[in-house]
Amino acid sequence: MMRSKQRAAAVQSAPAPAEETAQPVSAETGKQQRRNRRIERAARRLGLDKGPTAEELAAGEQAPDSYPGARLIADYRKARRGWYGPIANGAPSTTRQAEVLNTGIVAASTGAEGIVNGRDMLSERLVAHDGVTGYRATPRLVTSTNVVRMGDVGMGKSSASKTIDGLRPLILDGRRVVVLDKKQQGEQGEYARLCRAFGTEPITFTNDLGGTRINLLDPSFAGMQMDAPSDAARPRASAHFALLSNALRLQLGRDLSAFDEESLRSALRRASAAERGRALVVADVLPELGNVADYAKNLEPAGRDALHLAGIELRFALTTLLDSYYGLLDGETSKNVELAGRLTSWDISQLPDDGPAIPVVSSMAYMWLLGRLRRERGWQTTLIWEEGWHAVGGPTASIIRSSTKLSRALGLSNVMNIHKGTDIPSDSPGYALVQEAQTVYIHGLQESAAINWTVNTFNLQPGTADTIRRLKPGEFVLKVAGQPEIHVKHERSELEMQLTDTDEGFQPL
């Protein structure tokens, strides 16, 4: 009633409009006006007449529901009889208010099975995944158990790997972790503290007599066959031949020729046939290199000379390798090289970065592990390649890739931690090895070329490039096979932070 009086007073106080010349109204316009008046009368009877008062209009204020908007009732006559009429008047609101009062619930991006990775930055829900669980899922989430983790220095890549790939799998039944620990922390590898927390000592390799000795011809992987990924027509090679040829390629700085390979294969065959009462070691092969086999006597003199010279060159290269790393490769494998516990660290942080020592020991350790897993079935093993450039950049990548089928059959998941993919030559086996990985963790990257390579290689959404550039330490983008990528915040407990932090050198004294 008060509002009606205010409107009447406003109408009476308004100046009278100037007289206008009457304009003829068309039949169609008159019909529309009559229809509008009928609608207005019906709306008033339903109590929907809530237009602004003159005072509200004069003050420039207007209630949210006072705007005309779209019609909500198509037929007011039916609405009076109860058909399609509103039960109650809506509460005044705005679009911005409705966004807050009626928030959408975002579904979880992953299931609850597997290793807890952290918190989804979009849904605030738990993110759980790892290569082994994804491969064992029904249906399978991934067809490759290999995992790649990349990112710039200082973006939390190492601490996340030690937690997600190294520490948390150990709480699951039947899981085991082996680490090739390349990063130095103090006078030892950075996984040493984590190993001792689980009651084991790291296996330390050094370039002197005080370290662990490793045998490239260890009997634990005798009889294992390796595929030749570069040429399907080539015969499968034994693990001993693959390791020796890998070491010689690194020492010589070139690929082996056909004469080199035949000379090495013949020498290895003759050395393996001899009875010694002990394991075959690399030194046993040296005298056989350069000797021409009986079957080669039918060759032309030039062919026999080529085999002889190739063997002599390989003998010199292998002798230099043994002498350069005295105490590391020149004997049987040390007794302490065992999978004694559920967490085993191969500490190669004391070996020199230049030279073939690290890739030779790494490839040998990989083949040794496959041989042990072949005899000890039932374990799901995660092998972490810290500073994994030697795993994807060189002959070692060929060994890993050629044994992919074998590693899946033995329950082995390779986790390779690298900085950026642009450092990998496109024609190398390491490039294909990274492409085949179906679980990818991408920490912060700043270089545009590295970001574009990552987006293109793993088929990420175009907008993810900006997300990767803006990632903070402790955040990463998780890409699992063909599923949409997830922006994850890595969360750690206090105990995990004590065991996995790697910046203690910058802590206050």
The pLDDT value given to residue 474: 93
Task: Check residue 232 and give its pLDDT.
Answer: 41
**Any residues with CB less than 8 A from the CB of 60 and at least 6 apart, and which?**
none
Q: Domains plus CATH for the chain?
A: 41-104 (no CATH), 106-210+340-503 (3.40.50.300), 213-333 (no CATH)
- Considering only CA atoms, which of 337, 327, 326, 336 is closest in space to residue 364? 337
Report pLDDT digits (tens) over 36-60.
Answer: 777 677 666 655 555 555 565 556 5
Residues of the chain scoring pLDDT < 70: 1-25, 39, 42-76, 82, 84-92, 101-104, 209-210, 221-237, 339-340, 393-394, 502-509
DSSP state letter for 293? P
The pTM of this model reads 0.71
Query: Exposure of 96 by Cβ count < 10 A (0-12 exposed, 13-18 middle, 19+ buried)?
Result: exposed
Query: What pLDDT digit, counting tens, does each position of 312-371 carry?
Result: 999 999 999 888 888 788 788 888 777 667 888 888 888 888 778 888 888 888 887 887
End-to-end CA gap in the chain: 79
- Three-state SS for 348-365 is CCCCCCCCCHHHHHHHHH
Locus of tokens 């006078």: 187
Coil, strand, or helix at residue 34?
helix
Q: Write down the residue that tokens 């390349």 correspond to.
A: 182
Beta strands 116-120; 486-489: pairing state? antiparallel
| Structure confidence at residue 72 (pLDDT) | 59
233 CB-near residues (< 8 Å, 6+ apart): none
Q: For 168-217, write each residue's pLDDT tens digit.
A: 999 888 899 999 998 888 778 889 888 888 888 888 888 776 678 888 88
Contact assessment for residue 388 and residue 416, using Cβ atoms and an 8 Å cutoff = yes
What distance in Å separates the CA atoms of residue 425 and residue 422, rounded to the nearest whole number? Answer: 7
> Coil, strand, or helix at residue 170?
helix
pLDDT at 37: 78
Q: Cα separation of 297 and 271, whole Å?
A: 20
User: Are 345 and 380 a contacting pair, CB within 8 Å?
Assistant: no
